[in-house]
Amino acid sequence: MAVSAMKEGKSKYIEVAPKADCKGVEHLEKYFQDVIDKGGEGLILRDPSSALQGGRSAGYLKHKVRTL
């Protein structure tokens, strides 16, 4: 399925995640809280100096709420 078809909502299983450029810690905290408030689990942060690639990469970091 093409990305354009996913953006148009033609799949009930796949959705393209929005992208936002982080403008600092305060922006990150607000964006993260908005995601959590909407029922999301967290964010995937990408090092802007790392090459784009699919799958696991040292350039990606999960930012989630820790539950005990």
- Tell me what pLDDT residue 6 has: 58
Query: What is the structure's pLDDT at 64?
Result: 93
pLDDT at 37 over 90: yes
Average pLDDT, the chain: 83
> Which are the contacts of 59, defined by CB distance < 8 A and separation ≥ 6?
46, 47, 49, 50, 51, 53
The band of 1, judged by pLDDT with boundaries at 50, 70 and 90, is low
CA 25-64-20 angle, to 5 degrees, is 50
What's the pLDDT at 13?
Answer: 77
User: Do strands 60-64 and 42-46 pair parallel, antiparallel, or not at all (unpaired)?
Assistant: antiparallel
Question: d(Cα 22, Cα 6) in Å, to the nearest integer?
Answer: 24
Tokens of 46: 């990408």
Question: pTM for this one?
Answer: 0.68
% of the chain exceeding 70 in pLDDT? 85
